[in-house]
Amino acid sequence: MKKDYLVRGMVYQDYVRVFAVQMTETLEEIRKRLDTYPVVSAALGRTLAVSAMMGAMVKGEDRLSIVVKGDGPIGKILVDANGKGEVRGYVSNPHVEFPLNEKGKLDVRAAVGKEGTIIVTKDLGLKDPYQGSSPIVSGEIGEDFAYYFTVSEQIPSAVGVGVLVNPDYSIKSCGGFIFQVMPDTPEEVIAALERDISQIRPVSAMVNDGLTPEEMLKEITGQEAKILGELPIVFKCHCSRQRVESALISLGKEELQAMIDEENEAEIQCHFCNEKYHVSREELAKLINVKH
């Protein structure tokens, strides 16, 4: 089986652009770092799958961040991605449990909440980042992002994302797809897409059965997609000791002196990867003398 990757391409006589991703290993690495419970892994994994595919919509060094802020108990989901296939993410509360929903599935909607906002920020190397937002419409993530694309970016879209979790909490499968209708698409093509999407089985089941992103697209549409590119997906955190020290310096001399007086040291933990950075009293004293 290939490593985690996504493809982008065209289907339905090039009227519809598509993205499809498998990223089981990537989500498993993040789960182990953050110790997420199953329903949280599902919500975070679905959001990460969308972010990976949205990352493929921007150029290599360009970045985007997504915040899903619902009124459910997991709080805020925050994920980052870029055009190189690097993703990371975390949730406010990784330890949330719910009974299975009426379909016997992980109750992502209850964990995320049915009300709230999705905020997408794209840093495209311009003076100001682009920011778009839309309300949460279901809490299931896929439907919420389909609504975001249609309302905020004016691109009619279908989004499917899914995660399966093993009894030991490890990730069994994670993947997703995005179909986006191009301008001037004939009505019969839109009708064909809607019919095909309405008949698919869960994305998580397709990934779990070993379907590649290309095979997933073929199963959904009944046709070979014209593949325009492939991108490996990997977990990559951008924290570093240098960034931690820069953040401490930005607090100002008084705050740093208070740390020395009260704690005698500092320990900073990255939300995304759980890496801990220990800064000694001597190092804090040096940072105080750095030019602010």
Taking a C-beta distance cutoff of 8 angstroms, is the pair 71, 113 a contact?
Answer: yes
The domain boundary, picked from 212, 235, 258, lies at 235
pTM of the model: 0.89
Identify whether residues 123 and 16 lie together within a single domain: yes
Q: Do residues 174 and 261 share a domain?
A: no
Q: Give yes or no: residues 187 and 269 share one domain.
A: no
* pLDDT per position as a tens digit, 22-48: 999 999 999 999 999 999 999 999 999
Kindly state the average pLDDT of the residues 55-71.
91
Task: Indicate if 255 and 231 belong to the same structural domain.
Answer: no
Assign 259 a pLDDT band (cuts: 50, 70, 90).
confident
What was the pLDDT predicted at 9? 97
Residues 178 and 276 in one domain: no
Least confident of 81-85, 94-98, 279-283: 279-283
CATH code, 284: 3.90.1280.10
Residues 80 and 109 in one domain: yes
Same domain, yes or no, for 82 and 123?
yes
Confidence of residue 2 (pLDDT cuts 50, 70, 90): low
Query: What average pLDDT does range 94-119 have in this prediction?
Result: 92
d(CA 99, CA 105): 9
Pick from 235, 255, 270: which residue ends a domain? Answer: 235
For residue 72, what are its two tokens? 């459910």
Residues 163 and 205 occupy one common structural domain? yes
* Orientation of helix 253-262 relative to helix 281-288, angle to 10°: 160
CATH number at residue 55: 3.55.30.10
Nearest CA to 77 out of 101, 113, 105 is that of 113
Claim to verify: residue 225 and residue 270 sit in the same structural domain: no
Q: How many separate domains does the chain show?
A: 2
Residues 6+ apart with CB under 8 A from 84: 55, 60, 61, 231
How large a percentage of the chain has pLDDT more than 90?
70
Same domain, 127 and 151: yes
**Domain containing 203: what range?**
5-235
Based on the domain organization, do 143 and 68 belong to the same domain?
Answer: yes
Mean pLDDT of all residues belonging to the chain: 90
Please name the amino acid found at residue 247: A
Same domain flag for 63 and 159 = yes
pLDDT score, position 291: 54
Whether the per-residue pLDDT at 109 is higher than 80: the answer is yes
Helices (H), 134-186: 142-152
| 16 bridge partner residues | 11, 181
pLDDT at residue 1 greater than cutoff 70 = no
Note the residue count of the chain: 292
